[in-house]
Amino acid sequence: MRLLGADATRRAKPTDASVAHVYCWLGTTNPPDDVTQWSFRGSHSKVSQIDVAFSPDTPVNAQVWFTAQWLNRRQMPGPLAAAITTHIAGGVSGAGLSMKLAA
């Protein structure tokens, strides 16, 4: 997965951001609005490529949702990005996704 700022004019995190928090939700229903119910998938300072691993028992064609948010240098979070969804083809695999995030 690759994270982009809301303006997406360049492949870099927004100027004020220090890290991005990435979350996922596994399921066929729309994910909850409360991000604390999502699975936290890490804090990332390098956003050109983020690998998200899933358990080997993840079903083939499982639907997964992603969202993220930028944190500034004081670790204050910005808004959550609109959730995007994809399916994990053939069981566990890497997904080549781009996600635009609000700064």
Q: At residue 1, does pLDDT exceed 80? A: no
Per-residue confidence band for 91, with pLDDT thresholds at 50, 70 and 90: very low
Cα–Cα distance for residue pair 37/17, rounded to 1 Å: 24
In whole angstroms, give the CA distance from residue 64 to residue 84.
8
- The confidence score (pLDDT) of residue 67 equals 94
Structural domains of the chain, with CATH: 2-100 (2.60.40)
Q: Can you tell me the mean pLDDT for 8-14? A: 70
Spatial separation of the C-alpha atoms in residues 22 and 103, rounded to whole Å: 14
Q: What is the DSSP string of 15-47?
A: TTEEEEEEEEEESSSPPPS-GGGSEEEEEES--
Q: What is the pLDDT of residue 97?
A: 46
Indicate if the pLDDT at residue 95 is higher than 60. Answer: no
List pLDDT tens digits, range 23-47.
999 998 999 999 999 999 999 888 7
